[in-house]
């Protein structure tokens, strides 16, 4: 097979791939609310929290903005108790095979738009978000774990999030 045809075939195979992962057993799958949501999970609340957390995996067809733009947007979805912007959170970068995952962990009052483009906003004090950009050959995927601070802390501390990140693969 000529080299050009081989390279084109390799490019097509790469583009045809998708992000695969194994969710922790405690995360309960639910139907995706839109075509841009690859997967959604309910993360059961811990004692004392009034609601469950959620993990959503997004893919916008290879678009969706840069790592920095997404981190800035996610941080902007939180405020301090007094309404001030959240200081820049700690940013981590890890790998799972050939994938690079850049993540943040931010806490405060969750004030994101209820729906994209909506003027209505959440007002959820004591919330926390772990969010990451997963860089793949097909483009970035976005993972957001959002919910009451104690429930998200439990998901992070139990190893569920680490196991999920380590399971990420592109096939």
The 10s digit of each residue's pLDDT in 52-85 is: 999 999 999 999 999 999 999 999 999 998 889 9
Mapped onto helix, strand or coil, the DSSP state of residue 35 is coil
Supply the pLDDT for residue 115.
84
Contact 39, 23 (CB under 8 A): yes
- Percent of the chain whose pLDDT exceeds 90: 81
Supply the pLDDT for residue 7.
33
Closest CA to 165 of 130, 119, 114, 124: 130
Supply the pLDDT for residue 17.
83
Look up the pTM and report it: 0.88
Supply the pLDDT for residue 9.
34
Closest CA to 60 of 166, 134, 170: 134
Q: Under CATH, which architecture does the 18-170 domain have? A: 3-Layer(aba) Sandwich (3.40)
Arithmetic mean of pLDDT, 152-162: 97
The 10s digit of each residue's pLDDT in 4-50 is: 333 333 333 334 589 999 999 999 999 999 999 999 999 999 999 99
Supply the pLDDT for residue 1.
40
Residue 111 dihedral angles phi and psi, to the nearest 5°: -125, 25
Supply the pLDDT for residue 4.
38
């Amino acid at each position: 097979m000529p080299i050009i045809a081989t390279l084109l075939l390799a490019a097509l195979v790469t583009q045809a791939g998708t992000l695969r992962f194994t969710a922790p057993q405690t995360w309960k799958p639910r139907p995706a609310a839109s075509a841009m949501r690859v997967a959604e999970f309910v993360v059961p609340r811990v004692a004392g929290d009034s609601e469950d957390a959620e993990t959503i995996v997004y893919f916008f067809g290879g678009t969706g903005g840069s790592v920095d733009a997404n981190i800035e947007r996610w941080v902007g979805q939180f405020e301090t108790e007094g309404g001030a912007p959240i200081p820049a959170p700690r940013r981590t970068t890890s790998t799972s095979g050939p994938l690079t995952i850049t993540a943040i962990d931010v806490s405060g009052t969750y004030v994101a738009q209820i729906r994209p483009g909506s003027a209505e906003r959440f007002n959820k004090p004591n919330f926390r978000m772990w969010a990451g950009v997963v860089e793949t050959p097909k483009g970035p995927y976005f993972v957001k774990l959002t919910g009451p601070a104690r429930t998200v802390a439990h998901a992070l501390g139990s190893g569920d999030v680490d196991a999920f990140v380590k399971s990420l693969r592109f096939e």
